[in-house]
Chain A
Amino acid sequence: MNLNEEVEILKGVPLFGKVEPAKLKLIAFTGERMNYAAGQELFHQGDVGDAMYVILAGSADVLLETPNGQIRVAELKKNSFVGDIAILSDVPRTATIKAREPLTTLKISKDMFYRLVAEFPQMAIEMMRELAHRLEDTNQKLRDATATKAA
């Protein structure tokens, strides 16, 4: 996969949707492309977070460590990104991410992420939008849960 193909994929990632193609190329160029075999972990719950990942191909499981063992809570597909919480809020990884099939990611280190956000405010806005969506999603789930409990 060369740079231009990666840029094409990045164009489909909502986070980078509004970033102009030339800048996407910079992100692709400075980001590290990482390949994982099925079963390999991107990171483990509790690790110190140093990078976020954009999934370029393949899929991965989001796993939570609970007292009753690992439970799968979500699946990541092409174009989603993961690992942003740990680098934004300096908390340990909140979940384990494990490749479900051969996986290709673009790894963006914490330093670089902040530099990119500083250079391209558009990215920060996209990020906020995504986080707001997730929050709304969680709120919705919470409402559903309380409603179910009350019922």
Chain B
Amino acid sequence: MHRSLFSYIWRHSRSEQLVILSLVVVAQVFYFLSLTVPKSIVNNGISGNAFKEAAEIRILAFDIPLPDFLGGHVWHVFDGIRVDQLQYLVVMSFVFLAAVIVNSQFKRIINTQKGRMGERMLRRMRYELYDRILRFPQAHFRKVKQAELATMIKDEVEPLGGFIGDAFVQPMFLGGQALTAIAFIMMQNLMLSAVVIVLLAVQMVIIPRLRRPVLALGRQRQLTARLLAGRIAETADGVNEIHVHGTANYERADISERLGHIFKIRFDLYNKKFVAKFWNNILSQATPFAIYLMGGYFAIEGHMSVGAVVGVLLAYKDLPSPIKELIDWDQQRQDVQIKYEQVIDQFQPEGMMPEKLQALPDGPPPPLGHEIVLTGVTVSDDGRVKQLDGVTLSIPTDSRMAVIGTASSGKDVLGQVLARLTLPTSGSIKIDGQDFFEIPESVLGARTAYVGQETYLFPLSVRDNLLFGLKQRPTTPAPYDDATRAAREIFWREAERAGNPVLDPNADWIDYKLAGATGPADLLPHIVETLKQVEFDEEIYSFGLRGVIDGNRRPDLAEKILAARKALHGRLQDPAYAGLVEQFDPDRYNKNLSVAENLLFGTPVGRGFDGDTLAADPYVQSVLKDAGLDQDLLRMGLSIAETMVELFSGLSPDNPLFEQYSFISADELPNVRLLLQRLGGKGVQAVPEADRLRLMTLPLRYIEARHRLGLIDAAMEERLLAARRAFAAHLPDALRGAVEFYDFEHYNSAATVQDNVLFGRLVYGQAQAETRVVTLISEVLAELGLRDSVIEVGLEYNVGVAGKRLPATQRQKLGIARALIKRPQFLVVNEAVAVFDGRTQDRIRDNILTAANEGRGVMWIANRPNQAESFDHVVVMQAGKVVARGTPAELQAKGGLYCELMQSA
């Protein structure tokens, strides 16, 4: 990127700038017209100067005089019209109006054009900066903070966009305006104009000087703000350490100090800014003072007409603003130049990856070569400590090789070098003679895979993370209808104008062939297979059981799950399962559901009927009132409150029993006790209005089978069922979307897959009910061939920011699966299984080796040396050097470090 903002702007927006400039030039004609016409109106139209000799004159004649060498002919374009004084006044006034309108139109067009150009340039700049992040050398990320990069691209270049539109046009436009005005003044009176010019010159010199310190402070402000952003991100990243070490106040001290500095800089900035403003105002008012004084004097003395003085004043009225804006522009120019430099300095580190290594591949990736040859590869951060020391090694890409060594042997660095995450300080790596570092990333990404000790997951679904490594290029364009397609093309043309690539994220980027599938239809078995290899399929399956699908979007799957529901309820008829599940039956009160759930008889969607909001809902209240239940529920509430006060009164408020079992929190209990005392057994009629809602929520949470207070008898059940029916029958249209009713024949899109199959509630207090029923559900799903479909639902589980919703072991399993699903020709596993227990480590290793058939190679950097026994070749490393290599048997025979390592494991 250019150091100079101006040449950057000029290079990328030359033609647009020229169009705008020419518009500005044309606009000046009308601007000049809007200045001269008022003078003619005052002198001729009102004072009647031109009509002193003749009653009528010719106006608006338009002649083009040809120069003498072309014959000196005058070409009459328009002969004009003859008018008297009144007509003259009317015509010229309208000419003035027209000139003003045209002038404003020009302004509008010019501003729109400028805005578009500025936004395009901003887009280009942001894209280029982001593009550079993708090509940064790895080492640079250890020096810059992520939050600072984000601030720079997001906030710091923003003002540049506003300025770019004005970069060339503004000085031209304002300069043109100022020159026009000065020229006009000069035409009226040379003396007066000389005074105006001198005063302007003084302004142009003094004001920028006053503003220089403002700029310096602005630069500091930008830097401190960027550091603040970085510091805040650090706090978020290191929040566990802060809590664990109890150092919150140390962090507060640091932030307070920083904010103090920022305050000082910003306050100084205000001070300096307003001092500059003050002088600016004084100086700009000095000029009208001179015009009044001298122009007035000339008019009195008769050297100038009154009209001319008014014209000068009018011209001057417009003059200070372009001059002032010109000065502002100059300040802005310096300001954005500084900002620009400060940003791009951070974006040109040494050793950026050449663009061609990230070029979009135009077809399927070519296969990798057969042999990777390392010659004298040395890695050293500072030139003294060598993490790899002259490693010379040939690795056939189809070999199964393990690398063992102690923690400081450099084996992990070797893995990083083979993934190009660490660049060698010296030495060379070639694949079949081709420089390893010239292979495009897309080829390496498709043909090799690397898993390190930690896996970063994007905050997307499991599926998106798993298939991430298959997305080197768009394989199938997105299907668009004609209208969308046309809109997309306009969108892409705009992208091209701003130097952004025309790549469609909506296209299908998945390279199915890489995963061994032919398309989206047969990918799932490959996904399931890969999940099995890392022992992640069971976990994804249970995500799937707890997952939700939209029955309208997946009618096929919903249909199958309904079939599973029917099969399950068939199986539950078996006496062995008697009494474990209470099915949802519209005509029966379900003792294992709360009163609220019984009333709703469906799954709440959104917040409308969720939890305790139910009692406050006006519709629910009206249903209960119509069913005559409101008083009964209140009575139940009172009874529950009494029981709770009786049960929990003796307990200390911090006793966890409150949280687990009480309907009333420890804080609320005294209030409720007070309420009961005030009522003194007077019954529900005496309950104050304000307390009714609180009492109403208690019975709604009551589950007969669980709480066993014996509050709901057969008669009460019947009345609650009537209320349930009334609730569904009269549900207003507006609330229809807020609940999805239980219906044996319909899929419930608001409930989980498991709840859909179960279609009922586990009965409280039945030994092992949950385990047995869940096992039965899994059996039924497997029998119907739905296991993979449930896994497919589980794949939609969102892993959260940086995968934090998954535990570390699951993150790592997903990371390994992401590498395996590519079926890489050469896989580097860099101590990636260390997080698992020993047996899991070995099983996953064996699965990987079994999967890597057909000439696919594995390089296993072992976290435990004895993992190496399953490999054909073993490389032993020590202190950055390869000290031995061979088959396990050969190395065993030779003894030495290999045997030592094996014994230590």
List the interface of chain A (C-beta within 8 A of B): 1-4, 6, 22-23, 25-26, 28-30, 32-37, 40, 42, 111-112, 115, 119
Residues of B contacting A2 in the complex (Cβ-Cβ under 8 angstroms): 708-710
Contact A115 B657 (CB under 8 A): yes
Query: Would A119 and B655 be within 8 Å (CB), given that A4-B710, A23-B650, A29-B661 are in contact?
Result: yes
Contact A33 B655 (CB under 8 A): no
Residues of A contacting B768 in the complex (Cβ-Cβ under 8 angstroms): 40
The CA of A33 and the CA of B707, in the complex, are separated in Å by 10
The CA of A30 and the CA of B663, in the complex, are separated in Å by 12
Contact A35 B710 (CB under 8 A): no
Residues of A contacting B767 in the complex (Cβ-Cβ under 8 angstroms): 34-37, 40, 42
Tell me the minimal C-beta distance from A91 to chain B in angstroms.
Answer: 23
Contact A34 B710 (CB under 8 A): no
Tell me the minimal C-beta distance from A50 to chain B in angstroms.
Answer: 14
Please tell me if B765 contacts chain A, counting CB pairs below 8 Å. yes
The CA of A35 and the CA of B661, in the complex, are separated in Å by 20
The CA of A131 and the CA of B710, in the complex, are separated in Å by 35
**Residues 656-682 (chain B) with a chain A CB within 8 angstroms:** 656-657, 660-661
The CA of A42 and the CA of B710, in the complex, are separated in Å by 27
Q: Can you add 6 more A-B contacts, CB < 8 Å, to A3-B707, A29-B647, A29-B661? A: A3-B710, A22-B650, A25-B646, A26-B651, A28-B708, A34-B765
Q: Of A25, A34, A111, which one neighbours B766 at CB under 8 angstroms?
A: A34
The CA of A1 and the CA of B707, in the complex, are separated in Å by 11
Residues of B contacting A3 in the complex (Cβ-Cβ under 8 angstroms): 707-710
**How many chain-B residues does the 8 Å CB contact rule pick out?**
21
Which single residue of chain B is at the shortest CB-CB distance from A25?
B647
Tell me the minimal C-beta distance from B646 to chain A in angstroms.
Answer: 6
Please tell me if B764 contacts chain A, counting CB pairs below 8 Å. yes
Tell me the minimal C-beta distance from B649 to chain A in angstroms.
Answer: 8
Residues of A contacting B646 in the complex (Cβ-Cβ under 8 angstroms): 22, 25
Contact B655 A35 (CB under 8 A): no
Which single residue of chain A is at the shortest CB-CB distance from B660?
A30
The CA of A29 and the CA of B661, in the complex, are separated in Å by 8
Please tell me if B648 contacts chain A, counting CB pairs below 8 Å. yes
Tell me the minimal C-beta distance from A122 to chain B in angstroms.
Answer: 12
Query: Would A115 and B709 be within 8 Å (CB), given that A32-B765, A33-B765 are in contact?
Result: no
Query: Would A33 and B764 be within 8 Å (CB), given that A25-B647, A115-B656 are in contact?
Result: yes
**Residues 750-775 (chain B) with a chain A CB within 8 angstroms:** 764-768
Which single residue of chain A is at the shortest CB-CB distance from B576?
A37
Residues of A contacting B707 in the complex (Cβ-Cβ under 8 angstroms): 3, 29
The CA of A11 and the CA of B791, in the complex, are separated in Å by 51
Tell me the minimal C-beta distance from B695 to chain A in angstroms.
Answer: 19
The CA of A22 and the CA of B650, in the complex, are separated in Å by 10
The CA of A30 and the CA of B656, in the complex, are separated in Å by 11
Residues of B contacting A4 in the complex (Cβ-Cβ under 8 angstroms): 710
Residues of B contacting A112 in the complex (Cβ-Cβ under 8 angstroms): 657
Q: Kindly count the residue-residue contacts between A and B in the assembled complex, taking CB atoms under 8 Å apart.
A: 54
Contact A22 B657 (CB under 8 A): no
Tell me the minimal C-beta distance from B702 to chain A in angstroms.
Answer: 12
Which single residue of chain B is at the shortest CB-CB distance from A31?
B661
| 13 A–B contacts from the bound complex (CB under 8 Å) | A23-B650, A25-B646, A26-B647, A30-B657, A33-B708, A33-B764, A33-B765, A34-B767, A37-B767, A111-B656, A119-B650, A119-B651, A119-B655
Residues of A contacting B579 in the complex (Cβ-Cβ under 8 angstroms): 35
**Residues 715-768 (chain B) with a chain A CB within 8 angstroms:** 764-768
The CA of A136 and the CA of B54, in the complex, are separated in Å by 143
The CA of A36 and the CA of B772, in the complex, are separated in Å by 13
Residues of B contacting A22 in the complex (Cβ-Cβ under 8 angstroms): 646-647, 650
The CA of A36 and the CA of B579, in the complex, are separated in Å by 11
Top 3 nearest A-B pairs (CB, nearest first) are A2-B710, A33-B765, A26-B647
**Residues 595-641 (chain B) with a chain A CB within 8 angstroms:** none
Which single residue of chain A is at the shortest CB-CB distance from B578?
A37
The CA of A33 and the CA of B768, in the complex, are separated in Å by 13
Which single residue of chain A is at the shortest CB-CB distance from B647?
A26
Tell me the minimal C-beta distance from B580 to chain A in angstroms.
Answer: 10
Which single residue of chain B is at the shortest CB-CB distance from A116?
B657
The CA of A13 and the CA of B629, in the complex, are separated in Å by 39
Which single residue of chain B is at the shortest CB-CB distance from A32?
B765
Tell me the minimal C-beta distance from A116 to chain B in angstroms.
Answer: 9
The CA of A60 and the CA of B646, in the complex, are separated in Å by 34
Residues of A contacting B651 in the complex (Cβ-Cβ under 8 angstroms): 26, 119
B648, B660, B707, B708: residue with the most chain A Cβ atoms closer than 10 Å:
B708
Residues of B contacting A30 in the complex (Cβ-Cβ under 8 angstroms): 657, 660-661
Residues of B contacting A115 in the complex (Cβ-Cβ under 8 angstroms): 655-657
Which single residue of chain B is at the shortest CB-CB distance from A120?
B650
The CA of A119 and the CA of B648, in the complex, are separated in Å by 11
The CA of A35 and the CA of B767, in the complex, are separated in Å by 6
Tell me the minimal C-beta distance from B763 to chain A in angstroms.
Answer: 9
Contact with A along B309-345 (1 / 0, CB 8 A): 0000000000000000000000000000000000000
Which single residue of chain A is at the shortest CB-CB distance from B646?
A22
The CA of A36 and the CA of B647, in the complex, are separated in Å by 28
The CA of A33 and the CA of B765, in the complex, are separated in Å by 5
Tell me the minimal C-beta distance from A118 to chain B in angstroms.
Answer: 9
The CA of A25 and the CA of B646, in the complex, are separated in Å by 9
Contact A35 B766 (CB under 8 A): yes
Contact A6 B708 (CB under 8 A): yes
The CA of A22 and the CA of B642, in the complex, are separated in Å by 12
Residues of B contacting A33 in the complex (Cβ-Cβ under 8 angstroms): 708, 764-765
Tell me the minimal C-beta distance from A97 to chain B in angstroms.
Answer: 11
Contact A26 B655 (CB under 8 A): no
A6, A42, A119: residue with the most chain B Cβ atoms closer than 10 Å:
A119
The CA of A119 and the CA of B765, in the complex, are separated in Å by 25
The CA of A37 and the CA of B765, in the complex, are separated in Å by 12
A1, A22, A35, A42: residue with the most chain B Cβ atoms closer than 10 Å:
A35
Residues of B contacting A23 in the complex (Cβ-Cβ under 8 angstroms): 650
Tell me the minimal C-beta distance from A70 to chain B in angstroms.
Answer: 19
Tell me the minimal C-beta distance from A10 to chain B in angstroms.
Answer: 13
Tell me the minimal C-beta distance from A145 to chain B in angstroms.
Answer: 36
Tell me the minimal C-beta distance from A31 to chain B in angstroms.
Answer: 10
Tell me the minimal C-beta distance from B682 to chain A in angstroms.
Answer: 23
The CA of A108 and the CA of B643, in the complex, are separated in Å by 20
The CA of A26 and the CA of B710, in the complex, are separated in Å by 15
The CA of A119 and the CA of B643, in the complex, are separated in Å by 18
Tell me the minimal C-beta distance from B350 to chain A in angstroms.
Answer: 59
Query: Would A1 and B708 be within 8 Å (CB), given that A30-B660, A35-B766 are in contact?
Result: yes
Which single residue of chain A is at the shortest CB-CB distance from B661?
A30
Which single residue of chain B is at the shortest CB-CB distance from A112?
B657
The CA of A23 and the CA of B764, in the complex, are separated in Å by 23
Residues of A contacting B648 in the complex (Cβ-Cβ under 8 angstroms): 26
The CA of A1 and the CA of B476, in the complex, are separated in Å by 65
Which single residue of chain B is at the shortest CB-CB distance from A6?
B708
Tell me the minimal C-beta distance from B574 to chain A in angstroms.
Answer: 13
Residues of B contacting A36 in the complex (Cβ-Cβ under 8 angstroms): 767
Which single residue of chain A is at the shortest CB-CB distance from B651?
A119
Which single residue of chain A is at the shortest CB-CB distance from B704?
A2
Which single residue of chain B is at the shortest CB-CB distance from A103?
B767
Residues of A contacting B657 in the complex (Cβ-Cβ under 8 angstroms): 26, 30, 112, 115
Tell me the minimal C-beta distance from A151 to chain B in angstroms.
Answer: 45
The CA of A34 and the CA of B769, in the complex, are separated in Å by 10
The CA of A42 and the CA of B767, in the complex, are separated in Å by 8
The CA of A51 and the CA of B514, in the complex, are separated in Å by 53
**Residues 432-474 (chain B) with a chain A CB within 8 angstroms:** none
The CA of A108 and the CA of B648, in the complex, are separated in Å by 17
Tell me the minimal C-beta distance from A90 to chain B in angstroms.
Answer: 20
Tell me the minimal C-beta distance from A2 to chain B in angstroms.
Answer: 4
Residues of B contacting A42 in the complex (Cβ-Cβ under 8 angstroms): 767
Residues of A contacting B650 in the complex (Cβ-Cβ under 8 angstroms): 22-23, 119
Contact B647 A35 (CB under 8 A): no
A22, A36, A37, A112: residue with the most chain B Cβ atoms closer than 10 Å:
A37
B656, B660, B707, B765: residue with the most chain A Cβ atoms closer than 10 Å:
B765
The CA of A140 and the CA of B40, in the complex, are separated in Å by 133
The CA of A6 and the CA of B708, in the complex, are separated in Å by 9
Which single residue of chain B is at the shortest CB-CB distance from A40?
B767
